[in-house]
Structure 1
């Protein structure tokens, strides 16, 4: 979704409800791309185990950079999360988890159910329909839907456990009218200021 403008259109404490609203929005895309992006901050060994079982080939990395105490070189994360012991994983968490090439419809709902208390995101990209009578046109590079779990920010840099937010992404210049219409279509409204999409 590039550097889109993102509008929060639904917020709830129920992740399953948030997922359902996001899927309703996906149904309004004129065209939805075949791949989905998911990511999460995994703060416990149990979080890592659930994600490794669900998406074993995803990318894992340390949330915070670690340096060699002698050389100052950045130490890469090299553990295999599928075979590492609990003690080895406990020494590494929190970890960032990402999968940018998940086939749509394969594991998004399971991902939402598997997320722990850390912030996470599911992003569907596509193309909103043109609405020339309203001066609103698709922007395929930026259009899409994003579900952010355990955060009230599009970039999910701030953890807010138990708060789940659905965003619509539009052009790089914003389109508040489209955002309002999309929000109304799922029984919501634009909940705050637009944010810079990720």
Structure 2
């Protein structure tokens, strides 16, 4: 979604409800691209095991940069998450990953259920319909919907377990009128200040 402007339009403690609202918004896109982007921060061995069962080929990395205590060289996560022992994984936590295209064999609902208490994201890109009478036009590079699990900010750098937020992304300049109309279409309203999209 590039560096769009993102508006929070729904927040709940129920991840299934948040997912359902996000999918309703996806249905309002004039065109939706096939790619579904996902990512998550995994803070427990159980989180890693659930995600690896869904996405064994994703690239898993340390959440924070690590350096060798003596040489200062960057340390990269090199274990095979599919075969690592629980003890090996526990020593490497937290891990994260981003996946630019959720495989067709993996249902989005499965991803939502697999997320633990760490922040996670599902992003759908596309184009909102042109509304020339309201001065709103599609912005194919920036339009879309994003579900953030366990965080109340678009870039999901702050973990808030049990809080799930739905965002609409609209242009790189913002369009508060469109955001309000989209929020109203799912029975809500814009919940705060616009944020920088990721």
TM-score for the superposition, normalised by structure 2: 0.98
Partner of 2:95: 95
Please give the per-residue CA displacement for 1:126-173, whole angstroms capped at 9, x wherever unaligned: 000000010000000000000000000000111111000000000000
**Aligned partners of 2:48 and 2:106: how far apart in 1?**
19
- Once the two structures are superposed, the pairs formed by residues 96-115 of structure 1 within 5 Å of their partners are 96-103=96-103, 106-115=106-115
**Mapped pair 1:151 → 2:137:** no
Instruction: Give the length in aligned residue pairs.
Output: 198
- Once the two structures are superposed, the pairs formed by residues 29-48 of structure 1 within 5 Å of their partners are 29-48=29-48
Q: What runs of 5+ residues in structure 2 fail to find an aligned partner?
A: none
**Aligned partners of 1:72 and 1:100: how far apart in 2?**
31
Whether contact under 8 Å (1:154, 1:196) holds in the other structure is yes
Please give the per-residue CA displacement for 1:59-86, whole angstroms capped at 9, x wherever unaligned: 1100111112232110111111010000
**Mapped pair 1:71 → 2:71:** yes
**Aligned partners of 1:90 and 1:185: how far apart in 2?**
44
More displaced 10-residue stretch of structure 1: 145-154 or 58-67: 58-67
Whether contact under 8 Å (1:34, 1:104) holds in the other structure is no
Whether contact under 8 Å (1:40, 1:98) holds in the other structure is yes
Question: Which consecutive aligned stretches of 4+ in structure 1 deviate over 2 angstroms post-superposition?
Answer: 103-107
Partner of 2:4: 4
Please give the per-residue CA displacement for 1:5-46, whole angstroms capped at 9, x wherever unaligned: 000000000000000000000000011001111011100000
Find the residue that maps to 1:158 and give its secondary structure.
coil
More displaced 10-residue stretch of structure 1: 98-107 or 132-141: 98-107
**Aligned partners of 2:21 and 2:48: how far apart in 1?**
27
Partner of 1:162: 162
Find the residue that maps to 2:189 and give its secondary structure.
coil
Partner of 1:180: 180
- Once the two structures are superposed, the pairs formed by residues 23-34 of structure 1 within 5 Å of their partners are 23-34=23-34
Find the residue that maps to 1:49 and give its secondary structure.
helix
TM-score for the superposition, normalised by structure 1: 0.98
**Aligned partners of 1:13 and 1:71: how far apart in 2?**
44
Whether contact under 8 Å (1:35, 1:104) holds in the other structure is no
**Aligned partners of 1:192 and 1:101: how far apart in 2?**
29
**Aligned partners of 1:194 and 1:120: how far apart in 2?**
20
